[in-house]
Amino acid sequence: MEIHMYTIDGKLKRKILRPLKCVHDTVFLLEVSIADRKYLAMSCQHCQNITLVQKGENMMQPILAWETKTKKECGPSKMCVGGPEEILVADCNSTSVMIFDITSSQFNIKRSIDVRMKVDNLCYANLPDVGPVIFTTNAFPTFQVSATAIEHGVLWTLDRKTYASEEGKKWLPKGICIDSEGHLFVADYGNKHIAVIEAMTGHILKIFQPPEIQGSKWLDHVLWCNSQNCLILSHGYMDSKVSLYCVTG
Ligand SMILES: [Zn+2]
């Protein structure tokens, strides 16, 4: 079991043996900064734990770990960075997102937010006038993208009923990420395109298909988006491909 690190131009930088006994293929990764140091958080919904290792030459030593105490507490799956010293973790056993407090010495569940859907993927933004918002997707069975304000509950939901078109019938949102201007990028697995959605309202602003995924059978995830609107896309196991796409205009 290995973790592969790539540079942005696609060159393999380093292979790292996974520093855990876990052999599941449902391990999710998140880079976290705590007090200017970089860490890698790894969650496994089967082992029901999250482990934190410091990024660097020797990544074999977990420095902090969280493990569910009761088997019903949380099945940690996808994660994203939240507010300061926070990470958000989707619970695969419920419709909740857990907010974890994370510092160099503590790692605990602070709060649980019911987002009213099983969460496949998530991202976070602090929006003007609304405050912290969690954006979530579900590919099956509800085919939803939703925005839930941590203090005010669900802001909007976009599902198949929102459309009246052929595209709507195939709408199957998977990966999600957000840029600094409040644009959500959602990988629509059913239509094999990317929808750009306004974070405040849930309105679809634009739909496009990057040339990198034309003819592709799969479009699983928009993995990441930087300040220049460069998206990292992953195409799942049929194409076995990861690509970089820069949105312009
Ligand atoms: Zn595991």
Model pLDDT for residues 177-219, shown as the tens digit of each residue? 898 889 998 988 888 888 999 999 999 998 888 776 666 655 5
What is the average pLDDT across 139-148?
A: 93
CA of 20 to the centre of ligand 1 (A): 8
- Within 8 A by CB and 6+ apart from 240, the residues are none
Q: Rounded CA gap, 85 and 241, in Å?
A: 33
Is 90 exceeded by the pLDDT of residue 135? yes
Q: Report yes or no: 194 and 208 within 8 Å, Cβ to Cβ.
A: yes
Res 239: pLDDT: 56
What is the average pLDDT across 88-107?
A: 90
Quote the CATH superfamily of domain 1-114.
YVTN repeat-like/Quinoprotein amine dehydrogenase (2.130.10.10)
Assign 74 a pLDDT band (cuts: 50, 70, 90): confident
CA of 178 to the centre of ligand 1 (A): 28
CA of 47 to the centre of ligand 1 (A): 4
Q: Rounded CA gap, 95 and 198, in Å?
A: 23
CA of 46 to the centre of ligand 1 (A): 5
Is 80 exceeded by the pLDDT of residue 72? no
Assign 146 a pLDDT band (cuts: 50, 70, 90): very high
Assign 237 a pLDDT band (cuts: 50, 70, 90): low
Return the higher-pLDDT residue of 73 and 219.
73
Both tokens of 240, joined, read 């076995």
Model pLDDT for residues 17-67, shown as the tens digit of each residue? 655 667 777 778 888 888 888 888 888 888 888 888 877 655 556 667 787
The CATH architecture assigned to 115-249 reads 7 Propeller (2.130)
Return the higher-pLDDT residue of 32 and 14.
32
CA of 51 to the centre of ligand 1 (A): 11
Q: Report yes or no: 5 and 16 within 8 Å, Cβ to Cβ.
A: yes
Same topology between domain 1-114 and domain 115-249: yes
Res 194: pLDDT: 85
Both tokens of 116, joined, read 């009213």
Is 90 exceeded by the pLDDT of residue 116? yes
Domain boundaries, the chain: 1-114, 115-249
Query: Containing H/E element for 169?
Result: helix 166-170
